[in-house]
Amino acid sequence: MAARPGPESIALLDRFVAALKAGGLVTDAEIEEQVARTDEANPEIGARMVARAWTDPDYRELLVRDGSAAAEAMGVSMAGMPPLGVLADAPGLHHLVVCTLCSCYPRAVLGYPPHWYKSAAYRARAVRDPRGVLAEWGTVLPEGVELRVVDSTADYRWMVLPERPAGTEGWDAARLAEIVTRDALVGVALPVVA
């Protein structure tokens, strides 16, 4: 688990923000707007994007080609956000997202990252032993499925487009979105039909 920031970290952040404001690089209003946007974001946005992709081939094509444009198409403002990339699972291929360096995460469409995503253990083990990490979520990939681990960075934030599970034929997008969890959007879990 990531440690809570200590007083030194908070004082350093305060001095950094004060320097940015003094240099005219950022305003209080801009900081507040960014915090409000992140506070409002949550994994239901990503889930709605996946569910729409499962029911609308044109949207799926856009989502895989340009995740940021696909988010904008759902009413999400991506201004000032790093580009969103979408990793499409396929038969025989599964993706797992990690930020090995810190905690880069597609906050605009998933909200704040969970604590485990920021932990040193996840960041290291997702690379060293990805199948072992998945097993701890109870996620077992069928034999022969390739597991691709993809690093989110400050330049590109990744989200997984899982495969639409069997047993969801005829479901509308709203019902489909309910089975797309945050964990499935990171790739540690698969959508499950209850």
Residues involved in catalysis: 99, 102-104
> Closest CB to Fe ion among 71 and 104?
104
> Closest CB to Fe ion among 101 and 192?
101
Query: Min. distance of Cβ 154 from Fe ion in angstroms?
Result: 6
Fill in the amino acid letter for 121: A
Q: Which residues bind Fe ion (CB under 5 A)?
A: 99, 101-104
The kind and range of the H/E element at 28 are: helix 28-40
* CA 134 vs CA 64, 141, 167: distances in Å: 24, 8, 23
Task: Collect all residues with Cβ–Cβ distance below 8 Å to 169 and sequence separation of at least 6.
Answer: none
Query: Min. distance of Cβ 114 from Fe ion in angstroms?
Result: 14
Nearest to 132 by CA among 76, 92, 186, 188: 188
> Closest CB to Fe ion among 155 and 169?
155
Query: Min. distance of Cβ 104 from Fe ion in angstroms?
Result: 3
Structure tokens at 51: 């569910």
> Closest CB to Fe ion among 101 and 140?
101
CA distance 44 to 108: 11
Query: Min. distance of Cβ 120 from Fe ion in angstroms?
Result: 13
